[in-house]
Structure 1
Amino acid sequence: MTRFVLIGAPIALVVSVVLGGGDGDERPIEDLAQSEVENPLKTGDRKKEKALKDEIASMPAGLAAPDKKELAARLIASADNSTLDWRGQYDDIEDLGDGNGYTAGVIGFCSGTNDMLQLVEHYTAEHPGNPLAPFLPALREVDGSDSHEGLDPGFTEAWKKASKLPEFRAAQDEIRDRIYFDPAVDLAKMDGLSTLGQFVYYDAMVLHGPGLSSDGFYGIRHAALKAVKTPSEGGDEKKYLDAFLDASREIMKNARSERERDTSRIDTAQREFLRAGNTELRLPLVWRTYGESFRVERL
């Protein structure tokens, strides 16, 4: 898995900028700093935040339903780890040579893209004596780079040791949801997208990172909005998702390695679901990623 943009320390992003297509008086997304990003529910106005949360809570569960969330985890794992066994990835750690440093865990937290640092800081705050705590100073130093300085030797062994503990696996799930799943699904619901559309957002958030640049999630969404309105704005979902997938695919084609340039997670998975009209991700589900075939009959 490759995340092409850094994840900045999250702060609030103005909802009107995230949700709108740029036709009003909002600042263009290109003018925002990465540090202004968190998720579409953070407005700084508690009443508005509560109203948005209540609105989302009143919507169908979609990808957040337990069975669909399980399916989403399997789809992500098939692309990132060539397996449906996503629970077997908690202790996985390696440097993929993609410029992101160590990639590890259930969603591919990276030492170079801030999410691994957020995870270890969060876990250490609750469990100070954990095996990863001694590496926090080094993680802060290498954040934003592919360096292993201060992490070798010992970090990979510490990660594997920590991953045997249920509380660290729970922490991985929690930070995955906080950084990737919840913001993607919430925004997709506000954009009027189906369960499939919610997964498209989630996969793009994981793959590209929640960045504002042209190769980050919000930049990709912004490019799609220039071409097609979201369903919540009166647009056609299929046309909008096609535009979003086109923008995401274009970023992948310009990646540094051959595997990163492989767009099958779109071409022979998400795009095929969309063409089949399977907007609710009904089972059985069959797809191909990176030359391998996968099938889910039941959950």
Structure 2
Amino acid sequence: MRERRMEWSWGAVFLGMAAALAGCAPDMGEAETHPLTEQQALAACTYVITTNTYVGADYWGTLVFKNTGTAAMTSPTIAFGVPSGIVCDYDEPGWTHTQSGTTCTYSRTSALTVGVNASYTFYYSTSSSTSFTAANVSISDPSCGSTPPPTGTGLSANQKKVSEDLTSIWENDTPTIDYAYSENIQDGRGYTNGRAGFCTGTGDAIQVIQCYVNLRSAANGNLMAKYMSGLTTINNRFLSTGQDQASTAELDSVGNWPADWATSYNNTTTRADFKSCQDQISDKLYYTPAMNEAAKWGLTQALSKAALYDAYINHGESGARSMIRSANTALGNSGQVAPVIGYNGITENAWLQKFLEKRRDVLAGDSTWIDAVDRVAAYEKLRRKGNWDLGTAFRNDVRARDCWGTTYPASGYTVRAINPDGTWSTPASYTYSCQ
């Protein structure tokens, strides 16, 4: 996965202040920024969730997925999250399940073939009489060529919303996620788009559009379907060279990509499908890997997971892992023993403090990213105040210089007040502090 991102503009200035835009950032120098095997695996084994319901009155859940990959699935494994305290309690014929925390994982007891472009309906039951939507649905299969790590226990719905509010402040200067955003910010990665800065030249925007094409045809209002040929050409160059692709000529010859992207979300007829695909790919590439990484190292607190999630979106998988290794080494775990929490007395508080310091140094050490260094300070303030479950309202009224000294520049993010349920407001007054 690529290293990602911190871009500046809205004309380079937002009300006289630098503002972070969603986008793809300069590489941080990791040797494995674009592992082709990972991108190829994503292309070879993909799926889209077309139904995700749980009817509490019936104690019955339904997941329907479509195999959009190039090979038939032969023995799929389905994992998903349920609300805290809920127990998965039934196995359909041919299935068996295990549960770890809030994650239920169903695997096959006999072979099952789901052909290319075929759909499969999976049923499950739980102890809940309240309706909900299964979280972080993940489907793996031997046909993918590898088995992904077990899904780690993630954030609650409110905690995830709070976490994404924070990230959206850093990306768009507002907690409101900008699904309609699309712009060529001239960073050598084509058009930067949507809620997580999906780029046309780095292999993730194409996954959003492929998902969208699977849900809605051009004849049914999909304005992005006509770009698939050009996207595929760009993506093939990306896969074959391992280099980000700046060209948008293949898209511009077809239509106005930024306008069509924005319209796809702003049109009330197509919004739900387009939003769903952005959410699915963001979870697939950033949220789920971040939660799995948290589980690997023994991180259990929502604040730690939120900080890691933001790092994945900002720096990519290899960038986040590099900072994790640096934090481990600084705490005396140079052998990268996992889980790190509890190893030689290392606490989660000490680990998060060191991780944030390492991330601060990465941002401050880059001429492009230094203006975003306040991004890390918000998590440091929450750590110092002990808001580990993100269950107390807070503000991002803190700068790196408030936590670590005046040598750090002020990023200029607008201060917002965020509530535990993810709702937010703009306070009339505030005082910068790290306490």
Question: What TM-score results when the alignment is normalised by the length of structure 1?
Answer: 0.75
- 1:192 is aligned to 298
In the TM superposition, what whole-angstrom CA distance separates every residue of 1:211-261 from its partner, at most 9, and x where no partner exists?
3xxxx222222222222352154522122122222232233234353x664
Contact 1:197-1:241 within 8 A present in 2 as well: yes
- 2:211 is aligned to 122
C-alpha separation in 1, matches of 2:274 and 2:37: 28
C-alpha separation in 2, matches of 1:2 and 1:160: 15
C-alpha separation in 2, matches of 1:156 and 1:58: 37
**1:172, distance to aligned residue in structure 2 (A):** 0.8
Q: Identity of counterpart residues, as a percentage? A: 23
- Rate the CA distance shift 1:101–1:256 in 2: closer, same or farther, 3 A: farther
Structure ranking higher on relative contact order (CA contacts 8 Å, 6+ apart) = 1
- 1:223 is aligned to 326
- 2:281 is aligned to 175
- Rate the CA distance shift 1:47–1:5 in 2: closer, same or farther, 3 A: farther
1:46-65 map, 5 Å:
54-55=99-100, 57=102, 64-65=155-156
C-alpha separation in 1, matches of 2:329 and 2:234: 36
The Cα RMSD (Å) is: 3.4
Which of 264, 271, 276 does residue 380 from structure 2 map onto? Answer: 271
Which of 247, 256, 264 does residue 358 from structure 2 map onto? Answer: 247
- Rate the CA distance shift 1:132–1:31 in 2: closer, same or farther, 3 A: closer
Which of 392, 400, 418 does residue 296 from structure 1 map onto? Answer: 418
Contact 1:63-1:72 within 8 A present in 2 as well: no
Amino acid at match of 1:282: G
In the TM superposition, what whole-angstrom CA distance separates every residue of 1:112-140 from its partner, at most 9, and x where no partner exists?
22211211122223334221122123223
- 1:205 is aligned to 312
Question: What TM-score results when the alignment is normalised by the length of structure 2?
Answer: 0.53
Larger radius of gyration: 2
- 1:140 is aligned to 232
Amino acid at match of 2:259: E
- 2:390 is aligned to 281
C-alpha separation in 1, matches of 2:187 and 2:284: 24
SS where residue 272 of structure 1 aligns? Answer: helix
Amino acid at match of 1:140: T
C-alpha separation in 2, matches of 1:252 and 1:100: 20
Relative to its length, the structure with more strand (as a share) is 2
- 2:372 is aligned to 262
- 1:21 is aligned to none
Which of 122, 142, 157 does residue 66 from structure 1 map onto? Answer: 157
Q: How many residues align?
A: 262
Amino acid at match of 1:195: A
Amino acid at match of 2:159: K
C-alpha separation in 1, matches of 2:214 and 2:77: 30
- 1:34 is aligned to 35
